[in-house]
């Protein structure tokens, strides 16, 4: 039951992008086409779950053990940076077209606040390891959902007659606002 609460809470109620404002850069940057959006969501999901597990273990067995909690930010960002490097190397070998499509945004996962944000939230909420994994997977799904929905909206927006001054980013942000309004309907679900 408590796992279900975590899952629904993370995907719908406290959606990481639309309600918590984490990971806005890829949300605006790679959401022009659904295919790229899904690729990005996959890369983020993979890094997010791995990073949460590794940072959880580091927090529990290294930082807490030796009273080094103040080094949290530095330690976590280093772990995430090296994980991203690893994913980049693997993706380059396994799927070159996807590597090309994600281009500049892959190294930018390092500076994607969604990853570090979820890692820190997990520690703050004092989850167990299993709960942390569920928490990070749900957040990754929530990120993918928001990104895919938004990419779908933007594909249609391209064909619409938008007022000249609002073209590009402004109309995208306003559309995101309306999408966030829709997600507010889920509040109170858990």
Partner 1 sequence: MSQWKNFSKGFIKENPVFVLLLGMCPTLGVTSSAINGLGMGLATAFVLVMSNIVVSLVKNIIPEKVRIPSFIVIIAAFVTVVQLAMQAYLPSLYKSLGLFIPLIVVNCIVLGRAEAFASKNNLVSSAIDGLGIGLGFSFALVLLGGIREILGSGKIFDITIYPENYVTLLFVLSPGAFIVLGYLIALINRIKKN
Applying CB under 8 A, among 74, 89, 90, 189 the residue interacting with partner 1 is: 74
Whole-angstrom distance, CA of residue 171 vs CA of residue 94: 36
Asked if 68 is part of the footprint of partner 1 (rule: CB under 8 A), the reply reads no
By CB under 8 A, is residue 172 in contact with partner 1?
yes
Which of 45, 110, 155, 190 is close enough to bind partner 1 by CB under 8 A?
A: 110
The CA distance from 184 to 177, in Å, is: 10
Q: Which stretch binds partner 1 (CB under 8 A): 54-62, 91-99, 130-138, 164-172?
A: 164-172
Check residue 67 for interaction with partner 1 (CB under 8 A).
no
* CB of 143 closer than 8 Å to CB of 44: yes
Count the residues of the shown chain that bind partner 1, applying the rule CB under 8 A: 43
> How far is residue 40's CA from residue 70's CA, in Å, rounded to a whole number?
32
Q: Is 178 in the site for partner 1 (CB under 8 A)?
A: yes
Check residue 112 for interaction with partner 1 (CB under 8 A). yes
Alpha-carbon distance of 190 to 94, in angstroms, equals 40
**Binding of partner 1 at residue 120 (CB under 8 A)?**
yes
Cβ neighbours of residue 89 under 8 Å, at least 6 residues apart? none
């Amino acid at each position: 039951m408590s796992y279900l609460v975590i899952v629904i809470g993370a995907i719908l109620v406290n959606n990481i992008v639309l309600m918590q404002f984490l990971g806005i850069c890829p949300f605006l940057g790679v959401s022009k086409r659904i295919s790229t959006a899904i690729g990005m969501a996959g890369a983020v999901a993979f890094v997010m779950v791995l990073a949460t597990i590794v940072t959880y273990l580091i927090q529990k067995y290294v930082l807490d053990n030796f009273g080094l909690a103040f080094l949290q930010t530095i330690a976590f960002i280093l772990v995430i940076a090296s994980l991203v490097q690893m994913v980049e190397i693997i993706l380059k070998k396994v799927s070159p077209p996807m590597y090309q499509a994600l281009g500049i945004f892959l190294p930018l996962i390092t500076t994607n606040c969604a990853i570090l944000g979820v890692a820190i939230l997990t520690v703050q909420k004092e989850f167990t390891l299993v709960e942390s994994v569920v928490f990070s997977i749900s957040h990754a799904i929530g990120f993918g959902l928001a990104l895919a929905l938004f990419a779908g909206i933007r594909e249609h927006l391209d064909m619409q007659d938008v007022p000249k001054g609002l073209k590009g980013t402004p109309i995208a942000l306003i559309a995101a606002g309306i999408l966030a309004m829709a997600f507010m309907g889920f509040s109170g679900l858990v």
